[in-house]
Amino acid sequence: MSARGRVKSVMEDRSVYKSVGRAEDLSRISKRVAGITVSAIKQMPVLASKVAGAVSLGQGIPSFATPPFVTEAVIRALREDEGIGKYSLQPGMPELKEEIAHHLKRTRGISVDPETEIFVSCGSMEALAGAICTLVERGDEVLVPSPNYASHIEQILFAEGVPVFVPLIEEEGWRIDLAGLARAVTPRTKAILVCNPMNPTGAALTCDEARAIAELAIERDLFVIADEAYDFLVYHPSGHASLAAISELKSRLIAAFSFSKMYCMTGWRVGYMYAPSHVIDQVLKVHDAFAICAPTVSQYGALAALRATNGRDGEGDRFIVRLVAALDDRRHLTCGRLDRLPSLFSYQKPQGAYYVFPRIVPAGIKSMDLSLRLLYEAKVISVPGSGFGPTGEGHIRFSFGGTEEEIDDAFDRIEEWASGAGIGL
């Protein structure tokens, strides 16, 4: 079938707009699960796996391998320490939790009790899901600055909560709308879910914005769920404004952190939660029911990662500096390539993470349709903006986690395709 024919048949099979392209038989499936979907971020690679030679600006996976100071330590432990193949203590290995507490002290200046205020999760994703399941009752509202990470929506819906989308201000670099957040609070509001730096927009909070969110939460008696999976990856010199560093917020903050991005460990599935002890106690019930413990082998890796990182030129520190510099170069490259396509995309320069979320300039093109055409006709993987909440439509997400060669190759293909397609599509 021709590329055009494949686009047409995938578009006509509307299931791609709902879930991973499978026909859905929802009889006898719980409403809770029937009501959620696999995010577009994960759908596109599934479709792309059938397109030979496609180059990815899609899923957020850095091109770098997990560094040797992690892998070598795990290999050694696999040979010498039989504990690595067994369940760990359910809240996580004590020595890892100790290291996490040191890390939070060093990076946020906060004193954390490793025994009661931390648990080690299966990626930050499980920490976020656990937080939401623990806090949100049926009908509770969670404010979500949006466009937002797709899985946050599904997690709230799974808990039978109501995501209340508060649009980010696109023309001001996807700035958070503090007045809009305050206006959106109702008696049913339970929490504000803040991703910082943000996926998919690449926006990052300033210290004043973080403080204003904290003040709103305190004034209106709300929890703040902070997704800080990209905390190390802020490009402007003032750095990351962590909500976890605001001491007044401590009793109402649930923060999720990740080893996935900072140490290129996306497949290891290890992250952690920092929260008040009475919340951790409750979340651990969910963790026990769904996961028992984070993978022990990955906890060994996480421990090695943190032990190599001391804030003073340790191997881990040097790795992170190189990673951030490389991603910053890729950010500039990506923005430069987008500048050459003004009749197709307009964009706000990302300040954090490794995503850019351009607006689709030609009117009336649905983001899923554009993503499918890019996939089947240009052989470039992207993620449609419609997967990132209601304000995501009309945009497309590109990741610049890939190598410079991949980024150049992808944009060469898009340019060639756009000139052939006559842009007006």
| Cβ–Cβ under 8 Å, residues 351 and 202 | yes
Of the candidates 396, 320, 412, the one whose C-alpha atom is nearest the C-alpha of residue 44 is 396
Burial of 258 (0-12, 13-18, 19+ CB in 10 A): buried
Of the candidates 183, 266, 259, 195, the one whose C-alpha atom is nearest the C-alpha of residue 225 is 195
Measured from the CB atom, the residue of 58 and 394 that comes closer to ligand PLP is 58
CB of 123 to ligand PLP, least distance (A): 2
**Bridge-partner residues for 175, per DSSP?**
169
Measured from the CB atom, the residue of 168 and 229 that comes closer to ligand PLP is 229
CA distance 179 to 152: 22
Measured from the CB atom, the residue of 200 and 417 that comes closer to ligand PLP is 200
Among 104, 193, 229, 234, binds ligand PLP (CB under 6 A): 229
Quick note: the x/- pattern for ligand PLP over 189-228, rule CB under 6 A, is ------x---x---------------------------x-
**Residue 260 near ligand PLP by CB under 6 A:** yes
How many chain residues bind ligand PLP (CB under 6 A)? 13
Considering only 118-126, 180-188, 293-301, 363-371, which stretch makes contact with ligand PLP by CB under 6 A? 118-126
CB of 275 to ligand PLP, least distance (A): 16
Torsion of CA 370, 375, 380, 384, to 10 degrees: 40
Among 242, 258, 298, 386, binds ligand PLP (CB under 6 A): 258
Strand order in the sheet with 383-384: 355-356, 396-399, 383-384
Q: Which two tokens stand for residue 323?
A: 């990673």
From residue 155, alpha-carbon distances to 31, 33, 127, 158, 163 in Å are 14, 10, 11, 5, 9
CB of 244 to ligand PLP, least distance (A): 15
**Bridge-partner residues for 352, per DSSP?**
234
**Residue 266 near ligand PLP by CB under 6 A:** yes
Among 39, 124, 189, 386, binds ligand PLP (CB under 6 A): 124
Among 17, 40, 55, 60, binds ligand PLP (CB under 6 A): 60
Phi first, then psi, for residue 397 (nearest 5°) are -105, 130
**Residue 63 near ligand PLP by CB under 6 A:** no
Q: Please tell me whether residue 169 adopts helix, strand or coil conformation.
A: strand
Instruction: Tell me the CB-side half-sphere exposure of residue 92, using CA atoms within 13 A.
Output: 32
Quick note: the x/- pattern for ligand PLP over 149-168, rule CB under 6 A, is x-------------------
Measured from the CB atom, the residue of 199 and 382 that comes closer to ligand PLP is 199
**Residue 271 near ligand PLP by CB under 6 A:** yes
**Residue 125 near ligand PLP by CB under 6 A:** yes
CA distance 224 to 192: 5
Measured from the CB atom, the residue of 185 and 199 that comes closer to ligand PLP is 199
Q: Angle 277-278-279 (CA atoms, 0-180°, nearest 5)?
A: 90
Considering only 50-58, 122-130, 157-165, 344-352, which stretch makes contact with ligand PLP by CB under 6 A? 122-130
Residues that bind ligand PLP (CB under 6 A): 60, 123-125, 149, 195, 199, 227, 229, 258, 260, 266, 271
